[in-house]
């Protein structure tokens, strides 16, 4: 939530590259990764960045350079990770509802795979038997996460194989002699209560004894980040302590120490990101003013899709008198970023910045209304680099058959 890059730098970047513009602070990503590794220093814990949050290859290269692994949610993300230079053994593909051909492709690329359906597990067993280690994505029947759209582990969720179908899993594993190396759960995003992760470990401890070749358990991602003042964040040192206590209380029945894996997305990149927009128009409306910016939910969908809060600051008039504004986009349907928000006096032409937009910001953007996707800039060691050009009209036409 708090700002790490100066207003002067953000204004200079907006001048140089135009708006709307995404800017990412690579050093903040490094700092967040260090917070995780130092909290978990005493346990054998490995982090796989859930790159669905932000996949720009330059960000992936940075993630690799700091020693973090990567978790992917499609075969194309796997290919991006390999392109960024990751060793396949540091790449994880946590699948969900995919055709078996993607699992075959992931296997041929040599990456770790979490399988999330009985039918793909059976096909995997028939084809590979004991020749390739694999993980199983389980649904632990735990309700967690900031809202229902981002809850994935509850008992109505499509994700993973329900834990109550363990008998079916074991029948397939035994029939085909499948080499199970990892058990995965991911219960949701924006999880502030560390006990959710402990509950997940407890569900897994009942199951672990059935898998004699297990080397890791994978607790997914979902660490909550603060979006506004006073917002809670997942207490990472407390989580580390509780994970280590849970293991101390349940020594691994297979006699071998298990690695613990996590797949953080938001925690690593959310606060690194800034979306800078320019104000096109002001409209008075019974006490509040609409500030219409040159962006919309085509560039940042989280407020409209999840009612998410993103702090907004006036970069070019940071000390102006505060007033109430509804900050809206230029899309042809309601696309409100903030309702009746106190912001320093806004004038047409001012630059407004949206904080915490590194995760699921650019990544969920679109060309709706045939508008261009923004450019992206990465700042590292004080050096700004353009890492994606703004779309042009050719991008709108690309793939259209004229």
- Interface residues with ligand LLP (CB under 6 A) are 50, 53, 71, 94, 150, 152, 186, 189, 220-223, 263-267, 302, 306, 359-360
Q: Tokens standing for 345? A: 């006096």
As a whole number of angstroms, the distance between CA 107 and CA 104 comes to 5
Q: Which residues does residue 138 pair with via DSSP β-bridges, in sequence order?
A: 161
- 142, 114, 135, 263: which is closest to 201 by C-alpha? 142
Per DSSP, the residues of 172-239 read HHHHHT--EEEEE---BSSB--THHHHHHHHHHHHHGGG-TT--EEE----B----STT-----HHHH
When CB distances to ligand LLP are compared, the closest residue is 265
Q: Which is nearer to ligand LLP, 292 or 358 (CB)?
A: 358
As a whole number of angstroms, the distance between CA 184 and CA 216 comes to 9
Contact 287, 366 (CB under 8 A): no
Q: How far is the CB of 218 from ligand LLP (least distance, A)?
A: 9
* Tokens 């004229």 -> residue: 402
Quick check: helix, strand or coil at residue 315? coil
Q: Which is nearer to ligand LLP, 32 or 314 (CB)?
A: 32
As a whole number of angstroms, the distance between CA 177 and CA 123 comes to 12
Contact 116, 95 (CB under 8 A): yes
4 phi and psi angles, rounded to 5 deg: -110, -30
Q: Kindly tell me the burial class for residue 280, based on how many C-beta atoms sit within 10 Å of its own C-beta (0-12, 13-18, 19 or more).
A: middle
Q: Which is nearer to ligand LLP, 14 or 269 (CB)?
A: 269
Q: Which is nearer to ligand LLP, 178 or 300 (CB)?
A: 300
Contact 7, 315 (CB under 8 A): yes
Q: Which is nearer to ligand LLP, 17 or 267 (CB)?
A: 267
Q: How far is the CB of 8 from ligand LLP (least distance, A)?
A: 29
As a whole number of angstroms, the distance between CA 82 and CA 239 comes to 31
Q: How far is the CB of 302 from ligand LLP (least distance, A)?
A: 5
Q: How far is the CB of 266 from ligand LLP (least distance, A)?
A: 4
Q: Which is nearer to ligand LLP, 68 or 359 (CB)?
A: 359
Q: How far is the CB of 98 from ligand LLP (least distance, A)?
A: 13
Q: What is the set of active-site residues?
A: 332
Rounded to a whole number, what is the distance in angstroms from the first to the last CA of the chain? 45
Q: Tokens standing for 173? A: 């594993």
Q: Which residues does residue 284 pair with via DSSP β-bridges, in sequence order?
A: 289
Q: How far is the CB of 83 from ligand LLP (least distance, A)?
A: 21
Q: Which is nearer to ligand LLP, 72 or 315 (CB)?
A: 72
Q: How far is the CB of 195 from ligand LLP (least distance, A)?
A: 17
Q: Which is nearer to ligand LLP, 305 or 339 (CB)?
A: 305
Q: Tokens standing for 156? A: 């109505």
Contact 5, 356 (CB under 8 A): no
Residue 386 gets which letter from DSSP?
Answer: E
- 3, 7, 19, 18: which is closest to 293 by C-alpha? 19
As a whole number of angstroms, the distance between CA 143 and CA 18 comes to 42
Q: How far is the CB of 344 from ligand LLP (least distance, A)?
A: 27
């Amino acid at each position: 939530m708090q700002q790490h890059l100066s207003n002067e730098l953000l204004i200079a970047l907006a001048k140089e590259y135009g708006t709307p513009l995404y800017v990412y602070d690579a050093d903040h990503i490094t700092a967040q990764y260090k917070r995780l590794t130092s909290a978990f220093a005493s346990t054998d814990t490995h982090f796989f960045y859930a790159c669905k949050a932000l996949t720009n290859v330059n960000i992936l290269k940075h993630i690799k350079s700091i020693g973090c692994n990567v978790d992917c949610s499609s075969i194309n993300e796997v290919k991006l990770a390999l392109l960024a230079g990751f060793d396949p053994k540091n790449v994880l593909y946590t699948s969900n509802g995919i055709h078996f051909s993607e699992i075959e492709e992931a296997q041929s690329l040599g990456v770790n795979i979490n399988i999330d359906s009985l039918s793909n597990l059976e096909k995997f067993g028939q084809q590979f038997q004991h020749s390739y280690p694999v993980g199983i994505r389980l649904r632990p029947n735990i309700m967690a996460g900031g809202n229902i759209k981002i809850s994935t582990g509850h008992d109505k969720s499509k994700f993973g194989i329900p834990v109550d179908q363990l008998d079916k899993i074991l029948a397939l594993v035994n029939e085909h002699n499948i080499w199970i190396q990892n058990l995965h759960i991911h219960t949701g995003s924006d999880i502030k209560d560390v006990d959710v992760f402990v509950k997940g470990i407890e569900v897994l401890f009942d199951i672990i004894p059935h898998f004699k070749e297990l080397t890791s358990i994978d607790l997914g991602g979902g660490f909550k980040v603060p979006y506004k003042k006073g917002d809670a964040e997942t207490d990472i040192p407390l989580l580390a302590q509780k994970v280590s206590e849970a293991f101390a209380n349940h020594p691994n029945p297979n006699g071998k120490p298990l690695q613990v894996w996590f797949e953080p997305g938001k925690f690593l990149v959310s606060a690194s990101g800034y979306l800078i927009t320019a104000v096109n128009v002001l409209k008075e409306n019974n006490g509040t003013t609409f500030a219409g910016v040159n962006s919309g939910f085509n560039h940042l969908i989280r407020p409209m899709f999840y009612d998410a809060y993103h702090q907004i600051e006036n970069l070019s008039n940071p000390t102006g008198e505060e007033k109430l504004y509804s900050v809206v986009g230029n899309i042809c349907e309601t696309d409100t970023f903030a309702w009746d928000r106190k912001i320093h006096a806004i004038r047409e032409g001012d630059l407004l910045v949206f904080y915490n937009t590194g995760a699921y910001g650019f990544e969920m953007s679109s060309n709706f209304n045939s508008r261009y996707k923004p450019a992206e800039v990465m700042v590292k060691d004080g050096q700004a680099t353009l890492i994606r050009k703004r779309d042009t009209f050719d991008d709108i036409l690309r793939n259209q058959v004229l």
